[in-house]
Structure 1
Amino acid sequence: MAHLLGAEALHLEYPTKVVFDSVSLGVNEGDRIGIVGRNGDGKSSLLGMLAGRREPDAGRVTVRRGVTIGVLDQADTLDGSLTVGEAVVGDRPEHEWAGDARVRDIIRGLLGELAWDAGVATLSGGQRRRVALAALLAGEWDVLALDEPTNHLDVEAITWLAGHLKQRWAPNAGGLLVVTHDRWFLDEVCTATWEVHDRIVEPFEGGYAAYILQRVERDRQAASIEAKRQNLARKELAWLRRGAPARTSKPKFRIDAANVLIADVPEIRDRVSLQSLAVSRLGKDVVDLEDVSVAYDGREVLRDVEWRIAPGERTGVLGVNGAGKSTLLGLVDGSVKPSSGRVKRGKTVRVATLTQRLDELEEHLQDPVRTVIGRLRTSYTIGTGSKAQELTPGQLLERMGFESKQLSTPVKDLSGGQKRRLQLLLILLDQPNVLILDEPTNDLDTDMLAAIEDLLDSWPGTLLVVSHDRYFIERVTDQQFAVIDGRLRHLPGGVDEYLRLSAASRTSGAGADVARAAAAVSPLEGSAAPAAPARSGAEAHAIRKEIGAAERKLERLGQRVAGIHERMAAHDQADYAGLASLNEELRAAEAETAELEERWLELSELVG
């Protein structure tokens, strides 16, 4: 493969820290590289040096003649005097950019909700980020260097971006360098991973999952060498005798090798024990939303919501920005009152919310971390039964990435990620039994996300999560719901089902200003759906008859689902076999509902 750019003996240091020491690496045609590591270890600095934005203290970066590099910084560099259209396509004539299929796709994928002539200065931070990303992708680049490109993007936009980057170049052309904590995105897009740690950059083959497998192998081998008393040695020896794929220069991790590596790892959550403990802490009643609607200034945000939240339930909530997710969670924690319907809350329920605003830290900003923790409980128990473990707040801090020297640091001087972790710790030490996490992955690196996920695995309570981080939401929750067009919809098919439903909703809805502008000039890839073919009166009558039958059956299925929820709420929570049977019945009814709704949509399109 042709060489695009390279680094030789890079050295970078600050007055109190050496960031890189003699780092050499290269990027070739076809490389799609994800850069991971702890916050502060130098990921953005490495990207800046490779992209020519930052000079190393020693060493050099070489770029092949004629290679162009496009860079997305974390900092906002947009000119506020421009309109959205000027920022994205510059002064190119309308017929030129609108005739470019790739530019139209970028506009639809990232800017669907924005007005084309809106001033950049009037946009929110998240909207400006989308405009900056669209402007970069609209250009022609041999190499793209992206620093946290998924920040402020929702699940749909992240999915679109992954698809765009996978198709942007031919398989053996172009180069991609991306710093991100979004592990689903890393797995979807990247073919190699660079881990930045301890002043070096360590390359791994494959995306995030392959990187983790290789890192587990590396760490286990080190443990076997340094601490032979550990029982891992026997397992490592058995694995090595089966061929040791790690001995090859470019290891290919087969499925059987991966299975060996994780053979002794138990299920991530002991659901039976957690469910039992949750019932003992909460009772049978948590929060029930019964036929609830919410309206603001005459605009209905949520309508006819039926949601019965069970003890120990772990639920992810999906939806585009502005769909009503925060309103839904406000109904659960009591901060939002319904316009109609009823919210029933159990007597023992204690709700805590991890907000995006770091509210819990406001009163502690001047205090050292040690002082803040010392005012709270002296111990915290994780795990259940024989696996229960009691930790001091200091041990819990260490588990969440704090070093002993940081215990004397005032809260105001902590980094964004450290404040986020301390905020979660304060909430957990207060011992709520219903925990709401609103975008909890902001400002956290992949290692810290894994540590928080591990902590949540042993937390015995009801967990509700709103996040655009697909990996996180699938990792910590057991089921997902979505707010679509004001209604709450269960997703038996998870995030994939949500993306299908969201796409169908957008297709049936009105197009946004920018999408209409792109489609109006060139009909090559217009977003409007084709007109329904003309049908005879008999055919139209038969279709309408089937639609009516489907609607009646959907109503009966809705009543059936509600009845199962009521039976589950009234059922003996200690009868796990009975609950499992009811859960299977519920999933079957919801799957039948989803299938029938898809058929209803097909029929509706046929009659126009």
Structure 2
Amino acid sequence: MAVSLVVGEALHLEYPTRVVFDSVTVGVEGGDRIGIVGRNGDGKSSLIGMLGGLIEPQAGQVTRRGGVRFGMLSQSDDLDPATTVGHSIVGDRPEHEWAGDANVRDVIGGLVADLPWDAQIGALSGGQRRRVALAVLLVGEWDVIALDEPTNHLDVEGIAWLAEHVKNRWAKNSGALLVVTHDRWFLDEVCTETWEVHSETVEPFEGGYAAYVLQRVERDRMNAATEAKRQYLMRKELAWLRRGAPARTSKPKFRIDAANQLIEDVPPVRNPIELQRLAVARLGKDVIDLEDASVRYGNREVLRDVMWRIAPGERTGILGANGSGKSTLLGLIAGTVQPVSGRVKRGKTVRLGMLDQQFSQLADIRDDRVREVLARTKTTFTIDGKDLTPAQLLERLGFAREHLSARVGELSGGQKRRLQLLLLLLSEPNLIALDEPSNDVDTDMLAAMEDLFDSWPGTLIVVSHDRYLVERITDQQYAIIDGRLRHLPGGMDEYLRLRAAATATPSAVTPPPVSEQSATRLSGADERAAKKELSATERKLERLSERIAMIHDRMAAHDQGDYEGIGRLNDELRQAEAETAALEERWFELSELVG
């Protein structure tokens, strides 16, 4: 029988401008793994703040079972900038004590293995500091853990590690997790219950994000008059979940028959052949080609010998660890970064639109009111055959009408992201690059953004650690690994396997440098043979790269109505890319052998 750990009864919370919660009662029991979703500003952080004792409600009370230890990661930390990484995490505990604790070793290895142990907190970047704060929390002993946007500043590997950690942290039916996040993959992977915060209340749903989507659709159908817009987005999202992500829907606790019935009249999320046809018409055959492009900062080579022919209508996700060169790659595409060797060729008709992390597009209009910005924008945007005005499009992105009178510089991060995306789309680019577009936005905004890009007929490049977003709006993925751009036929799972293999080392022995390994492992004859095979492999990779480029040319020139012909070319392309992936694996092995 589950034991109640924390209970909030008849909670009322209000600020001078509005009521956040009115007579809300919630309970957290042993074994609960609860994801909290809702629009930005609706009170998600306030809810866990009340349960954690950081915020005092105006009415009602929060009670905890005697002795319950409640740990919380908020969106800001209280780390001492003068102390070190190591002292922040393990304090004054002797090394033999904390090093003998399997949980402490796991947390350190998963979150801060790349940070100098003696580095001062004040010298760290915001992302590094965030990881230290998360490590400080997770090395502690807690009965309940509340995490507010824990995946911010974590890369794909870090998010996957955190999911495994919280899933295995407590025994079954013990401990409890509350997590506020817009990362829908994380919600599905970890949570068994979802709380939606909206309209001054908290509504519970069974299961993770996919199950929540179905139940919300059913709720919205009963209230279709007031929820028609949200229902459409959720049904489209559900259609993708059922059709495009079989691994994800094998485990949610909802009725598959009911889901199939709901989506039987929903068309596929995207028509890739039609979008490619439109993209070729808008772009021509030439978009951007990176030919043996390398970028170096000082003595550090960030990107080396990157070969990438970006095709019309291509929808590509770029993966890589923090600092691996993803933003540098976008800089090459945008022309703001110049290669030290190789070259970047741009098609004459390319019009690039960039959504960056710094809101640079809004800098010159920060003192203008949103209404004034929209008034200057005469362009309409077409979705599903309907022309939307800028104001209608902004409303579709979840921008409240009462904020139209606000100055741009006074908007919240999520509101700025909505306006930034609006202005990007209305500038009519035919190539869009998105750099971490899920920052500062909620799950509803993400669904609306994905809906817009489903019918956008151009080339799309997405850099993101948001696994759900990448799988949702892109059709293929590449990764930057050791400075090289590598195609991932197996998608995100293949990337995580490659990264795990690259970082795996014997636990008891530190391996010598590669050059020492090769000197002791290879004889002279073996080394000559390895170098010969390495050269042959490089020549094969060059020929395959040319072959892939030719296939892209043939696809662009092919009759887009000939589905069978396009299908054969797609099969040929996949085969060539699979051969390339196998050869790249061998190239890495040989490179390590010969040093």
TM-score, with structure 1 as normaliser: 0.87
Within the candidate set 548, 570, 588, 2:575 is matched to 588
Aligned 8 A contact 2:324 2:480 in 1: yes
Letter in 1 for 2:172: P
Residues 74-94 of structure 1 show CA distances to partners (whole Å, capped at 9, x for unaligned) of 112111121000100111111
Letter in 2 for 1:10: L
Superposed displacement of residue 607, structure 1: 11
- Matched with 1:291 is 292
The question of 1:468 aligning with 2:465 is answered yes
In structure 2, do the counterparts of structure 1 residues 579 and 61 end up closer, same or farther at CA, with 3 Å as the change threshold? same
The question of 1:477 aligning with 2:474 is answered yes
In structure 2, do the counterparts of structure 1 residues 179 and 454 end up closer, same or farther at CA, with 3 Å as the change threshold? same
- Matched with 2:440 is 443
The question of 1:37 aligning with 2:38 is answered yes
Instruction: Between 205-214 and 217-226, report the one with greater CA deviation.
Output: 217-226
Distance 1:128 1:571 in 2: 47
Letter in 2 for 1:423: Q
Distance 1:256 1:573 in 2: 42
The question of 1:486 aligning with 2:483 is answered yes
Aligned 8 A contact 2:325 2:483 in 1: yes
Distance 1:222 1:398 in 2: 20
Aligned 8 A contact 2:151 2:159 in 1: yes
Superposed displacement of residue 190, structure 1: 0.6
- Matched with 2:238 is none
The question of 1:430 aligning with 2:417 is answered no
Superposed displacement of residue 382, structure 1: 2.5
Residues 212-235 of structure 1 show CA distances to partners (whole Å, capped at 9, x for unaligned) of 1111111123228999xx99xxxx
Distance 1:602 1:346 in 2: 36
In structure 2, do the counterparts of structure 1 residues 456 and 7 end up closer, same or farther at CA, with 3 Å as the change threshold? same
- Matched with 1:519 is none
- Matched with 2:241 is none
Letter in 2 for 1:118: A
Aligned 8 A contact 1:564 1:582 in 2: no
Aligned 8 A contact 1:331 1:343 in 2: yes
Letter in 1 for 2:56: E
In structure 2, do the counterparts of structure 1 residues 192 and 564 end up closer, same or farther at CA, with 3 Å as the change threshold? same
Superposed displacement of residue 368, structure 1: 1.2
In structure 2, do the counterparts of structure 1 residues 483 and 171 end up closer, same or farther at CA, with 3 Å as the change threshold? same
Distance 1:381 1:36 in 2: 29
Secondary structure of 2:174 counterpart: coil
Aligned 8 A contact 1:507 1:529 in 2: no
Aligned 8 A contact 1:292 1:343 in 2: yes
Letter in 1 for 2:559: D
In structure 2, do the counterparts of structure 1 residues 572 and 350 end up closer, same or farther at CA, with 3 Å as the change threshold? closer
Secondary structure of 2:553 counterpart: helix
Distance 1:527 1:15 in 2: 60
Superposed displacement of residue 262, structure 1: 1.8
1:216-231 equivalences in 2 (<5 Å): 216-223=217-224
Letter in 2 for 1:330: G
Distance 2:164 2:531 in 1: 35
Secondary structure of 2:339 counterpart: coil
Distance 2:589 2:300 in 1: 29
Residues 425-449 of structure 1 show CA distances to partners (whole Å, capped at 9, x for unaligned) of 1111111111111111111000111
Secondary structure of 1:81 counterpart: coil
Superposed displacement of residue 452, structure 1: 0.7
- Matched with 1:565 is 549
Residues 283-328 of structure 1 show CA distances to partners (whole Å, capped at 9, x for unaligned) of 0100011121122223322111110001111111111121111121
Aligned 8 A contact 1:543 1:603 in 2: no
Distance 1:499 1:421 in 2: 31
1:257-276 equivalences in 2 (<5 Å): 257-276=258-277
Using the aligned pairs only, state the percent identity.
65
Aligned 8 A contact 2:527 2:594 in 1: yes
1:530-541 equivalences in 2 (<5 Å): none
Secondary structure of 2:60 counterpart: strand
Letter in 2 for 1:201: V
Superposed displacement of residue 597, structure 1: 5.0
Gaps of 5+ in 2: 233-251
In structure 2, do the counterparts of structure 1 residues 544 and 53 end up closer, same or farther at CA, with 3 Å as the change threshold? farther
Superposed displacement of residue 501, structure 1: 1.3
Superposed displacement of residue 373, structure 1: 1.3
In structure 2, do the counterparts of structure 1 residues 431 and 603 end up closer, same or farther at CA, with 3 Å as the change threshold? closer
TM-score, with structure 2 as normaliser: 0.89
Aligned 8 A contact 2:537 2:587 in 1: no
In structure 2, do the counterparts of structure 1 residues 361 and 446 end up closer, same or farther at CA, with 3 Å as the change threshold? same
1:204-603 equivalences in 2 (<5 Å): 204-223=205-224, 252-383=253-384, 388-507=385-504, 525-526=507-508, 528=510, 552=536, 555-569=539-553, 571-576=555-560, 577=563, 578-595=565-582, 597-598=584-585
Instruction: Between 346-355 and 251-260, report the one with greater CA deviation.
Output: 251-260
In structure 2, do the counterparts of structure 1 residues 184 and 540 end up closer, same or farther at CA, with 3 Å as the change threshold? farther
Superposed displacement of residue 349, structure 1: 0.5
Residues 133-163 of structure 1 show CA distances to partners (whole Å, capped at 9, x for unaligned) of 0010001111101111111111111111111
Aligned 8 A contact 1:50 1:61 in 2: yes
In structure 2, do the counterparts of structure 1 residues 561 and 66 end up closer, same or farther at CA, with 3 Å as the change threshold? same
Distance 1:476 1:21 in 2: 37
- Matched with 1:516 is none
Superposed displacement of residue 580, structure 1: 3.3
Secondary structure of 1:408 counterpart: coil
1:133-152 equivalences in 2 (<5 Å): 133-152=134-153
Letter in 2 for 1:154: D
Distance 1:302 1:226 in 2: 48
Letter in 2 for 1:379: T
Superposed displacement of residue 19, structure 1: 0.9
Instruction: Between 186-195 and 401-410, report the one with greater CA deviation.
Output: 401-410
Aligned 8 A contact 1:561 1:586 in 2: no
Superposed displacement of residue 574, structure 1: 4.4
In structure 2, do the counterparts of structure 1 residues 118 and 57 end up closer, same or farther at CA, with 3 Å as the change threshold? same
In structure 2, do the counterparts of structure 1 residues 144 and 548 end up closer, same or farther at CA, with 3 Å as the change threshold? farther
Name the structure, 1 or 2, with higher relative contact order (CA <8 Å, separation 6+): 1
Superposed displacement of residue 342, structure 1: 1.9
Aligned 8 A contact 1:351 1:434 in 2: yes
Letter in 1 for 2:392: Q
Superposed displacement of residue 380, structure 1: 1.7
- Matched with 1:2 is 3
Aligned 8 A contact 2:10 2:22 in 1: yes
Distance 1:424 1:559 in 2: 39
Letter in 2 for 1:208: Y
Secondary structure of 2:404 counterpart: helix
Residues 473-512 of structure 1 show CA distances to partners (whole Å, capped at 9, x for unaligned) of 111111111111010000111111111112222237xxxx
Distance 1:604 1:407 in 2: 57
Aligned 8 A contact 2:534 2:591 in 1: no
Aligned 8 A contact 2:551 2:573 in 1: no
Aligned 8 A contact 2:313 2:458 in 1: yes
Distance 1:89 1:53 in 2: 24
In structure 2, do the counterparts of structure 1 residues 605 and 304 end up closer, same or farther at CA, with 3 Å as the change threshold? closer
Secondary structure of 2:8 counterpart: strand
Aligned 8 A contact 2:292 2:306 in 1: yes
1:64-213 equivalences in 2 (<5 Å): 64-213=65-214
Aligned 8 A contact 1:23 1:201 in 2: yes
Aligned 8 A contact 2:379 2:426 in 1: no
